[in-house]
Amino acid sequence: VWNHCLHVIRESIPEQSYKTWFEPIVPLRLNGKVLTIQVPSQFFFEWLEDNFVHILRKALDQAIGRDGMLEYSIIVDKGNEQNRPLTVNVPTTKSPQTSKPDNVSPDLLRSPFELKDLDSLTLDSYLNPTYTFDNYVEGDCNRLARNAGYAVATRPGVTSFNPLMIYGGVGLGKTHLVQAIGNYIKNNNLDKFVLYVTSEKFTNQFLNAIKTDSLRDFTQFYMQVDVLVIDDVQFLQKKEKTQEIFFHIFNHLHQSGKQIIMTSDRSPRELGGLEDRLLSRFKWGLTTDLQQPDLETRIAIIQKKLQAEGVYIDDNVIEYLAHSINTNVRELEGVIVSLMAQASLNRREIDLELAKLTLRNIVVDSDKEINIDTVQEVTADFFGVTVADLKSKSRKRELVYPRQVGMFLAKEKTGLPLKSIGYHFGGRDHSTVIHAIQAINDLINENPATREAVEKLKAYFK
Ligand code: ADP
Ligand code: MG
């Protein structure tokens, strides 16, 4: 029966997929209408369910009949078959909904490697199609990055921009740009597997693969990617094991002429906690940054957004907004959205008065949100340490500095009394806080790196 199934499957999918996903399967038994197959790992099972469920259904139809069922037996430890096999009733309709066995959390089933498009068997790229070059406004602040991105988009893997690394502060358009590159490549090269993943997701998938003993599948999955877009690599700081696997995947892809595109919220120079050998790889290609948008670009961005929404507002209002919000594009968009909401709620036109009113409310709101927890989280994240590190007793240099910066920012941004700040930083007394603030103040004056770091951190709280 299984051979019959294999025959059907082999005819329906590419040879490579067949070899990877069906040859390792061992048929165990046929009990009435229930066929039991043994698969090498949890991951393997998930992959089959996510990607080949309709093929399996077809095969079962032909080999057993429409009421044929499939049962998986998953090998847990090498050679140790799991006691209770998972029974999966492969649906008879073409619905992509597969019934999920109770003892597998939905989380596990959806991650690490989620559904592919069931009909075409193309791999899901996780790109957001709304991010395109067309709606990416070009300006002095982003011209180099944008043009390099466009070159990569039109000739992936061929230019010397490999990897392409784009860095810049929050909300400056990194994700938009790299997604635009991905979308462009995907739409113009239907045979290429483009994958967008955040470094955080990559890390979680990796950890999950370790937990479920499916590291090989994990690596294999990433090695078949043609264009890898990996967002926010600063998240990999201090995650040595994840960096190691990423290093291997990176090398493999790069050697095979596959395109790699990365973003980071800071320059490679500031990416402490990243292995040197990985950092040196990043420098093989092109590294370019996104700057804060200048006034002209801000105006153009507002116009573009309004146009996309089909909303008209007067030029003087646009200029007012562009003058008032000079932090980042995300903020600019946020204001436009609230402005439109205000206008439609109150059934009034968007004029200067409404713009001023809206802006005032937003500024007040964002002030309120800054509390010591967010300051600590952002600071820890920035330096690649944990909040617990900031609160710890450790006097290690690589912790003392972030801790001092954290206290400095807490003073600036929360207005809490020094005593209270000390309390939140692991119960330190207020003279320690004073000392920290002084130390950072001095460093800001003497040391450009500190100045830049503090400025960037402050920008998070604007
Ligand atoms: P980042 O990843 O750098 O934090 P995003 O790419 O998420 O920033 O950008 C924030 C928002 O600003 C997104 O909605 C994005 O579409 C928009 N945006 C950023 N830069 C531009 C630009 N040059 N033109 C149009 N929209 C932009
Ligand atoms: Mg982003």
pLDDT tens sequence across 31-90: 888 888 888 776 677 778 777 888 898 899 999 988 888 888 877 543 344 444 455 545
Note if the bond before 402 is cis, omega within 30 degrees.
Answer: no
Best residue among 177, 198, 329 to mutate for probing ligand 1's pocket (most ligand atoms within 8 Å of CB) is: 329
170 in ligand 1 pocket by Cβ < 6 Å? Answer: yes
Question: Which ligand number lies closest to the CA of residue 131?
Answer: 1
- The answer to the question of whether 426 is labelled as a binding residue is no
- Residue nearest to ligand 1 atom 20, measured at CA: 173
406 in ligand 1 pocket by Cβ < 6 Å? Answer: no
Residue ranges matching CATH 3.40.50.300 in the chain: 143-289
The CATH topology of domain 295-366 is: Helicase, Ruva Protein; domain 3 (1.10.8)
Residue ranges matching CATH 1.10.8.60 in the chain: 295-366
136 in ligand 1 pocket by Cβ < 6 Å? Answer: yes
Best residue among 174, 232, 291, 330 to mutate for probing ligand 1's pocket (most ligand atoms within 8 Å of CB) is: 330
Residue ranges matching CATH 3.30.300.180 in the chain: 2-110
Distance 351 CA to ligand 2 centre (A): 31
Q: Render each residue's pLDDT in the chain as its tens digit; 462 residues.
A: 999 999 999 988 877 778 778 888 989 889 888 888 888 776 677 778 777 888 898 899 999 988 888 888 877 543 344 444 455 545 432 222 333 333 333 333 333 333 333 333 467 899 999 999 999 999 999 999 999 999 999 999 999 999 999 999 999 999 999 999 999 999 999 999 999 999 999 999 999 999 999 999 999 999 999 999 999 999 999 999 999 999 999 999 999 999 999 999 999 888 888 989 999 999 899 999 999 999 999 999 999 988 887 888 889 999 989 988 888 898 898 888 888 887 777 777 888 888 888 887 665 444 445 678 888 988 998 898 999 999 999 999 899 999 999 999 998 888 778 888 898 899 999 899 999 999 999 999 988 889 988 988 887 776
- The answer to the question of whether 175 is labelled as a binding residue is yes
Task: Give 173-187 pLDDT, tens digit per residue.
Answer: 999 999 999 999 999
Distance 101 CA to ligand 1 centre (A): 40
- Residue nearest to ligand 1 atom 13, measured at CA: 330
Distance 368 CA to ligand 1 centre (A): 24
Question: Which ligand number lies closest to the CA of residue 305?
Answer: 1
333 in ligand 1 pocket by Cβ < 6 Å? Answer: yes
Residue ranges matching CATH 1.10.1750.10 in the chain: 372-460
- The answer to the question of whether 173 is labelled as a binding residue is yes
* Number of the ligand 1 atom closest to the C-alpha atom of 176: 6
The CATH topology of domain 143-289 is: Rossmann fold (3.40.50)
- Residue nearest to ligand 1 atom 6, measured at CA: 173
173 in ligand 1 pocket by Cβ < 6 Å? Answer: yes
SS (H, E, C) the chain: CHHHHHHHHHHHCCHHHHHHHCCCCEEEEEECCEEEEEECCHHHHHHHHHHCHHHHHHHHHHHCCCCCEEEEEEEEECCEECCCCEEECCCCCCCCCCCCCCCCCHHHHHCCCCCCCCCCCCCCCCCCCCCCCCCCCCCCCCHHHHHHHHHHHHCCCCCCCCCEEEECCCCCCHHHHHHHHHHHHHHHCCCCCEEEEEHHHHHHHHHHHHHCCCHHHHHHHHHCCCEEEEECHHHHCCCHHHHHHHHHHHHHHHHCCCEEEEEECCCHHHCCCCCHHHHHHHCCCEEEECCCCCHHHHHHHHHHHHHHHCCCCCHHHHHHHHHHCCCCHHHHHHHHHHHHHHHHHCCCCCCHHHHHHHHHHHHHHHHHHCCHHHHHHHHHHHHCCCHHHHHCCCCCHHHHHHHHHHHHHHHHHHCCCHHHHHHHCCCCCHHHHHHHHHHHHHHHHHCHHHHHHHHHHHHHCC
CATH number of this structure's domain 372-460, picked from the four choices 1.10.1750.10, 3.30.2130.10, 3.30.110.30, 2.30.30.180: 1.10.1750.10
Distance 232 CA to ligand 2 centre (A): 7
Class of 2-110 per CATH?
alpha beta
**Protein residues within 5 Å, CB atom, of ion ligand 2:** 174-175
